[in-house]
Structure 1
Amino acid sequence: MEAKRLTHVAAAPRGSEQASARPRRSAGLSRAHIALVAVAGVLALVALAVVVVVNSSLFAATDIRIVGSEHVAQDAAEQLINLPEGTTLLNVDEDQIVESLKQNPWVAGVDVKREYPHTLVITPRERAVSAIMYVAADDIAWAIGNDGCWIAPLSLAVAVDDSGAIVESGIVSTAISDQAEDGGASAPTDTRADPSADGADASEDGAADASDAGDGSASDDGGSDAPADEDKPAEDDGDGEPADQQDLAGLGAAEALARHFGALLLTDVASDVAPSSGSDVSAPIILAGLDYAKKFSSDFKAQIKYLSVPSKEAIAANLVSGIEVA
């Protein structure tokens, strides 16, 4: 019988295959590593270029304009803002500006506008007044923000024209900048005295001028028979105020302030309520009054003269018509 030829093919050892494959894999990893290093280098160069541009004098904030508002005077805002040296329009820290200006309790936010290449315009946004608390025992009024915080005390030295609108110069005298520096929880010293003192000085000056004239020169200048000049300031009327202007105080002033802000006026408040500028309203009776008013429609709220809140059980809305709703 013819023997069959067997051909034996020896299998290559498994270790040799791995050995031959290993160099190819190492070569692939080397190319990927080189690519990653190159990309990282490019990114580092870009980041360095950005840092250089951001901090360069090319966009240095050399012209900083701080805009004041009704209750945030420009000079008071300027005292609160202290931009570090080297500030540019690209690296300015807006959060720091907001934090600094919020030391003033009237400030709710800040708008920072860049006008290239060197101008930075900073404008504070005021809190909206949703309510005013009047405490008759202390003869003081406090503004309450629509975010539920105490804002600041308001001056009750209010002058209104014949339409009941507040004269601009008599709205605010709360020394907010001083409160921001001191922590701002205390009520102002008697701010009502200043306007009356000014009026008295004006009256005395007017009387002195009239007596000094003595020769009829006052009549020559127009006298009492001349028609009133509507463009003249209050001091030109002889008695310190024009005929169509009325000075208010106490509850009447608080009512005028409430109309001015379109806010709810809370009265008959106990004197133990202790407001603090910038802090949340936590007094139960004030919270109860504000919650009570939320149940009214906007049309009905417009008819409310003031909301009496002596206690939670005795809250009553006094309307402009004279009707009391309890």
Structure 2
Amino acid sequence: MYTRAAATTVAALMGAGALVLPTTSAAAGTPAASSAAKPGAPLVVAHRGASAYAPENTFAAIDKARDMGFTWVENDVQRTKDGELVIMHDATLKRTTNVEQVFPDRAPWKVADFTAAEIAKLDAGSWFSPKYAGQRVPTLKQYMQRVSRNKQSLVFEFKKPELYPGIEKQGLRVLRQTGWLDKQHVKKKLVIQSFSADSVKTVHELRPDVKTGFLGTPAVADLPRYAKFSDQINATHTSISADYVKAIHALKGPHKKRLEIFTWTINDAPNAVRAARFGVDGIITNTPDVVRKAVRKG
């Protein structure tokens, strides 16, 4: 009854948020290196999990990425009416759950208008395929436990933080409670980012040891300002060039290491090869297998 058209799903995934990660060289010798095709190749990251093959931001999606051999996954974090952090990309529940059927009189079905208990009742898998009927919207705590169990690393995005005052402090608290702010995780397994510069600044001020990233394509002249609080500048692949990547790499971020760039969302071989030749540090993709194969061939 509530299955979305495949084209709608692909369009939503293609236009969605980016993420950031440590450089491939920094990942060498760590589990993350298994996602890179060869030394110097961009790190391949599963966007919202392996979201071309399983419903985004669910356990099924990150499990699928694990089964395909991808260590790094990305998620999106928003807040419920009663203050629980949950894994959801859109500001509404409409596209990726059966909320219209379960709560028909609650339009426009904003995440912030529902309690965690209400969201827990929703089916977050059938919209993608009947195979995934019964998948749920994870809470952040549940998601962190699953990522830990899978021995994966996380790109943590505060989605639309302007809607949720104080979400940065709250998210960091959950990360601390689940063991993700110890030295090992902070150094090798965690990046926090947002499209909001203010949100990235807040994270950097609260936990200066955590890697941060600004999602967007600032003008080259503005890059030094962003480099004061962001370790990465990540841009959509349609907005970058070899010169832009070079300009990013010429700067150092707040941890005095080379500024990095991960580009998104690339789901085909030609654009993956193009970005790799620009020298990007990582590629964010819904189809990590396709991109991995492409950058192997170079």
Normalised by the length of structure 1, the TM-score is 0.20
Q: Which has the higher contact order (CA 8 A, sep 6+)?
A: 2
Normalised by the length of structure 2, the TM-score is 0.21
- Structure possessing the higher radius of gyration over alpha carbons: 1
